[in-house]
């Protein structure tokens, strides 16, 4: 199995590979050191009998080092390339390891009682509130939400959205009769006197128009008089009509109980009643509605509504200083304040989060755990072996080093006990 070229590894994996090589060198150096000590002690044991103890320790150290080298190597590959049974465990049993790991996570971690106990011991609402109440965090949440909303708006099909708006408009705006609800609405306005402001506005506009358009009355009546009427009489008639009109409008403006106002009230009452109960009036309104909102116009209206709304929303979402973004950030910060101060809200949020998490875990824990199994199955055996070795290989080299030391001590103790008992 050829190792991955260094330039293809991430900086973290490159550092792990360097550390692994250093520890392999240290463990190999310990083995070679034990071998050197064994050779020296074996060669001079007859001259110096005490070296027998050193030789026994070196023998034990070499045995321990070789045994642990074999055990560590067998996890990742065949020792010396020899296909010894039950070696190269990780590449040969990768899929089984993935399934076992997935089952372990599912049965030991993804359990409702474990998740509930952890979440109930964690003040989720308070922590979230403390984080959200910081203005910079509220701005970040708003910015991320704006980016997501903008992406969704751009991803939506304009034609599909226009179809939905058109269908909703037809179903809820055009298809229902307008007469009865419009008549009821008009009746409530007239009964409450809310239309008086509109009447006053109309009177004011008429008064202003009369003040600036006296010439419009020239010949308004006089042109209908016989030709033998003197011109001065004609002008007098026109001036009289104008002045009477001005007086009439002024009287209406000054008198809240003027008969003209009463006549308007009566007309609006009759119109309200007709819109609710007169089939002829209702039918004429429906005909007018259909004439105005025919199919092409509804489609154009839907397109105009969507394009205007979409353009406005995208502009507001993209501008950090827009009213929408500022109000959203303020709302997020206010939610954070409430989460840190409102005990009742904290309990509701904590309960909701805990119940939702437990429900998801109980319902989908097998699917969640299967992500581990499926992911491991897709991994290349050689690549998987290398990655695992880079992650834990350095620590495993300590096993080789410890095996050398423990083996040396064991060899020394065994030899010493044997000498003491057997001479």
Contact (Cβ atoms closer than 8 angstroms) between residue 374 and residue 168? no
- The domain locations on the chain are 12-92+380-422, 176-296
Give the integer Cα–Cα distance in Å for 45 and 22. Answer: 34
The encoded tokens of residue 261 equal: 């106002």
- Helix and strand numbers (H, E) in the chain are 17, 0
CA distances from 174 to 167, 178, 305 (A): 10, 8, 16
Nearest Cα to 94, choosing from 393, 370, 377, 374?
A: 377
CA 143 to centroid of chain Cα atoms: 11
pLDDT tens for each residue of the chain, 423 residues long: 556 666 567 788 888 889 989 999 999 999 999 999 999 999 998 889 889 999 999 999 999 999 999 999 998 888 888 888 888 888 888 888 888 888 888 888 888 888 899 988 888 999 999 999 999 999 999 999 999 999 998 888 888 887 887 787 777 777 788 788 888 988 898 888 888 888 889 989 988 888 888 777 776 666 665 555 566 666 677 678 778 888 888 998 888 888 988 898 898 889 888 888 888 888 888 888 777 766 676 677 778 888 888 899 999 999 989 999 999 999 999 999 999 999 999 999 999 999 999 999 889 888 888 888 888 888 888 888 888 888 888 888 999 999 999 999 999 999 999 988 886
Please provide the size of the chain in residues: 423
pTM here is: 0.56
Helices 196-212 and 259-277: angle between axes, nearest 10 degrees:
130
Contact (Cβ atoms closer than 8 angstroms) between residue 219 and residue 238? yes
Q: Which pLDDT belongs to residue 109?
A: 85
Q: Which pLDDT belongs to residue 224?
A: 61
Give the long-range contacts of residues 274-279, CB within 8 A, separation 24 or more. 274/183, 275/179, 275/180, 275/182, 275/183, 275/186, 276/179, 276/180, 276/183, 276/184, 276/187, 277/183
In the 8-state DSSP scheme, what is residue 83? -
Q: Residue holding tokens 């590959």?
A: 77
């Amino acid at each position: 199995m050829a190792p991955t070229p260094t330039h293809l590894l991430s900086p973290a994996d490159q550092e792990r590979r360097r550390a692994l090589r250093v520890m392999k060198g240290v463990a190999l150096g310990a083995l070679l050191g034990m071998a050197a000590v064994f050779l020296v002690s074996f060669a001079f044991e007859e001259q110096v009998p005490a070296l027998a103890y050193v030789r026994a320790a070196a023998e034990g150290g070499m045995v321990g080092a070789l045994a642990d080298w074999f055990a560590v190597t067998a996890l990742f590959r065949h020792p010396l390339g020899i296909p010894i049974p039950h070696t190269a465990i990780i590449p040969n049993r990768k899929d089984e390891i993935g399934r076992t790991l997935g089952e372990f996570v599912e049965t030991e971690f993804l359990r409702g009682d474990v998740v509930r106990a952890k979440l109930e011991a964690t003040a989720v609402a308070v922590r979230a509130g403390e984080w959200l109440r910081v203005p910079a965090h509220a701005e970040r949440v708003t910015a991320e939400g704006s980016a997501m909303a903008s992406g969704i708006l751009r991803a939506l099909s304009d034609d599909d959205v226009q179809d939905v708006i058109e269908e909703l408009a037809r179903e809820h705006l055009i298809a229902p009769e307008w007469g009865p609800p419009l008549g009821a609405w008009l009746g409530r306005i007239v009964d409450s006197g809310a239309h008086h402001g509109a009447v006053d506005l109309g009177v004011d506009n008429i008064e202003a128009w009369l003040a600036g358009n006296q010439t419009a009355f020239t010949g308004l009546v006089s042109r209908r008089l016989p030709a033998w009427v003197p011109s001065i009489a004609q002008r007098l008639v026109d001036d009289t009509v104008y002045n009477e009109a001005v007086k009439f409008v002024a009287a209406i403006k000054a008198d809240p109980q003027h008969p003209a106002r009463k006549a308007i009230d009566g007309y609006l009452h009759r119109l309200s009643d007709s819109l609710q109960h007169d089939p002829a009036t209702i039918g004429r309104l429906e005909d007018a509605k259909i004439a105005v909102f025919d199919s092409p116009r509804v489609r154009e209206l839907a397109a105009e509504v969507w394009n205007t709304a979409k353009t406005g929303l995208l502009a507001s979402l993209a501008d950090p200083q827009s009213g929408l973004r500022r109000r959203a950030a303020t709302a997020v910060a206010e939610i954070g304040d409430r989460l840190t101060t409102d005990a009742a809200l904290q309990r509701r949020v904590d309960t909701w989060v805990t119940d939702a998490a437990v429900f998801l875990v109980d319902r989908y824990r097998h699917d969640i755990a299967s992500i581990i199994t499926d992911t491991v199955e897709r991994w290349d055996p050689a690549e998987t072996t290398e990655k695992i070795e880079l992650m834990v290989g350095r620590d495993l080299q300590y096993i080789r080093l410890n095996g050398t030391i423990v083996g040396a001590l064991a060899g020394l103790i065994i030899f010493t006990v044997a000498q003491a008992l057997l001479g």
